[in-house]
Structure 1
Amino acid sequence: MINKDRMIKKFMEYVSIDSETHYEKEMMEYLIKELKDLGFNPETDSAGSKCNSNGNNIYFSIPGEGEPVMLSAHMDTVQPGLGIKPIIKGNIITSDGTTILGADDKSGIAIIIEALTMIKENKLRSRPIEVLFTIYEEGGLNGAKNADYSKLTAKNCIVFDTGGSLENVVVSAIAQNKIDVKVHGKAAHAGGKPEDGINALQVASRAISNMKIGRIDEETTANIGVVKGGLATNIVMPEVTLNCEARSLSDEKLEKQTNHMIDCFEEAAKYYGAKVDVDVINSYPSLKTNTDSKFVSEIVETFRSMNIEVCLTSTGGGSDGNIYASHGISPVIVSTGMYKAHTLEEYIDLDIMTSSCEFLLKYLTLK
């Protein structure tokens, strides 16, 4: 059994440390000292200098028997995450309501450290374990993108970075393309000579009216999230920018939807005699872990031994696991018990958090 009180105490310490994205240094330094005090040998990399963060990723490992497994969680939080004051309310922990809680993802860190502390202090036989705590997960997965994969040998990974019940184990996740569009029309006096102009917003409107967005199918979505343009009401709008996205579990469908959106803008520009610039960036690749693998079977059996029947599921968001998958590491994403992440109402369910840690300890240790 894990030391639940110790895990909760550590979690409350972690969320009290400011570590909004780009500013993870204090959290990194705290964890490095703690890990050294626990007898681990943490290392860092230079990821921060590559992605505008003052912190770096943390790596450490435990030797063991058999195939290694990687464990992962991230150190950064979204805003507002400064001066978090965690409050225990029965079986949950919340913030004081003026900030997020930071359970996303410091609950994952607390779970991993408690399980490994149990292994170390009780000298338990275990699998070889490799741990990666990343920076800058929120808003780009940039810690994982800039990690030093030469420090890792494991081909399977458990990412503790999702919420809800333990029954739902994520084994697939969407890929995302960001599609940034700039429509170039032509300025003219809106009252004097409007016919001399080309209204960029009218061009964009034609494109959007012909475009499939929202829920495309069970695997694919698309959205236009930001539109900016215009100088004054008496000027025919000369330029408008649109920030769009497409997501899909299928790489083929993602490409098809992206091309469809581009085609709509190009057709509209041609119709009005305008010009359009399109920039497509793949934010992260899809994640598709083989559900017939020994790794996934062992995950399922471990939960079953705890009387938990899991459902292998997919998610419409990305995580560090997407990046690990692109490096040949097969991830599953397990709940920490967090709810309402990225909001002032965020909370952690302590029963689920405890069970998540007990699952990890049971999975890692050998008879």
Structure 2
Amino acid sequence: MVHEKLASYVERITTDRYGNLLAQKKCKTGCGPTILLNAHLDTVEELEEGREIVKNGPIWSSSKGILGADDRAGVAVLLEVAKWLETSRFNGTIKFAFTVEEECGLVGARELEEYFLWDVDAAIVVDRRGTGDIVTSCGMIQPFCDIRYGQFFEKVANDAGLLGWKCTAGGSSDTRIWASRGIQSVNLSVGYQFEHTDDEILDTDACYNTAQFIKAVLNQSKELSRTLRSLRLTDAV
């Protein structure tokens, strides 16, 4: 289903040998950063047959079993961003990685073909519970990015009037793999809570807010380029 919906918004789309869905789109002249957008396709439990989505205003839940918003909410956000790119101000290249087997040890991301990441300048992962978190590290164990990359996101949110977004530490996600390969990375909240349980819910307003946040970031592609260039120069010194 994701392949079918994504195909009309990108120039190239393929499934790698492990089952990860990979795609690419050049925007405007393409003379800008290459940004990886990532969410995972698997859920920790199978969805219950015959279940229904219970909608209580913006809060969604499942009539039985898990809702599956971890990480289908992230998938939905990235499909919305893909649809929007054609009319965006972003100048550069967007790569999409919809990974498999994240829930059992980030396996799909670990197995992703190396060539796909060679020109990636930075990554945005959409796989964090709650609202307003810009996750910049896995606890105190592993930093995902230079603090200036996270601060760029905070500034964009503030300038766009998207309140409450702050850098914080978080848990394990595919972000760990991209960061371990030297890619400046963050993981953004997407509105789900109580994931992996029958009490899982999704705040669809928060989910929409995350989509708007990513659009605001990509519309600042010149400032994003300057930030990433500054980080590369610092690393070179």
Global fold match (TM > 0.5) = yes
Counterpart of 1:163 in structure 2: which amino acid?
R
The answer to whether 1:61 aligns with 2:24 is: yes
Q: Which amino acid aligns with 2:191?
A: G
C-alpha change, 1:356 and 1:364, in structure 2 (3 Å) is: same
Query: Which residue does 1:326 correspond to in 2?
Result: 180
Whether the 8 Å CA contact 2:12–2:23 is kept in 1: the answer is yes
Q: Is the 8 A contact 1:335 1:356 kept in 2?
A: yes
Give the deviation of 1:141 after TM superposition.
0.6
Tell me, yes or no, if the aligned pair for 1:126 and 1:366 is still in contact at 8 Å: no
> Residues 31, 128 of structure 1: CA spacing in aligned structure 2 closer, same or farther, 3 A cutoff?
same
Indicate whether 1:297 and 2:144 are aligned: no
Listed one character per residue, the Cα deviations across residues 72-127 of structure 1 (whole Å, up to 9, x for unaligned) are 0000001142435322211111111x21011100111111110120122x364444
* CA gap 1:344/1:105 in 2 versus in 1, 3 angstroms: same
One-letter amino acid matched to 2:154 = V
Runs of 4+ in 1 over 4 A off after TM superposition: none
The Cα offsets for residues 295-316 of structure 1, whole Å up to 9 and x where unpaired, read as 333211211123325321112x
Counterparts of 1:121-270 in structure 2, within 5 Å, are: 122=87, 124-152=89-117, 153-166=119-132, 168-174=133-139, 249-250=140-141
Query: What residue is the counterpart of 2:210 in the other structure?
Result: 356
Equivalent-residue separation in structure 2 for 1:300 and 1:171 (angstroms): 12
Is 1:88 the equivalent of 2:55?
Answer: yes
Aligned equivalent of 1:110: 76
Question: What's the CA shift string for 1:269-306, capped at 9, x where partnerless?
Answer: xxxxxxxxxxxxxxxxx3442102xx333211211123
Q: Do structure 1's residue 32 and structure 2's residue 6 form an aligned pair?
A: no
Partner of 2:226: none
Q: Determine which structure has more spread, i.e. the larger CA radius of gyration.
A: 1
Gaps in structure 1 of 5+ consecutive residues: 1-29, 48-55, 175-248, 251-285
Q: Which residue of 2 aligns with 1:306?
A: 160
Percent sequence identity is: 27
1:21-40 Cα deviation digits (max 9, x unpaired): xxxxxxxxx21122224454
CA deviations 1:206-264 (Å, max 9, x no partner) are xxxxxxxxxxxxxxxxxxxxxxxxxxxxxxxxxxxxxxxxxxx24xxxxxxxxxxxxxx
Change (3 A) 1:39 1:165: closer
SS at match of 1:128: strand
Corresponding residue number in structure 2 for 1:43: 14
Return the TM-score normalized by structure 1. Answer: 0.55
Q: Which structure ranks higher in relative contact order (CA pairs < 8 Å, sequence separation ≥ 6)?
A: 2
Q: Secondary structure at the match of 2:47?
A: coil
Contact in 2 for aligned 1:86/1:93 (Cα 8 Å): yes
Structure 1 residues 149 and 353, CA, compared in 2 at 3 Å: closer, same or farther? Answer: same
- Partner Cα distance (2:128, 2:13) in 1: 25
CA shift digits 1:120-146 (9 cap, x unpaired): 2x3644442111110000021100110
TM-score (norm 2): 0.84
Instruction: State the shift of 1:150 in Å.
Output: 0.7
Within 2, Cα distance between the matches of 1:110 and 1:288?
23
Counterparts in 2 of 1:93 and 1:82: CA distance versus 1, 3 Å: same
Give the paired residue count: 215
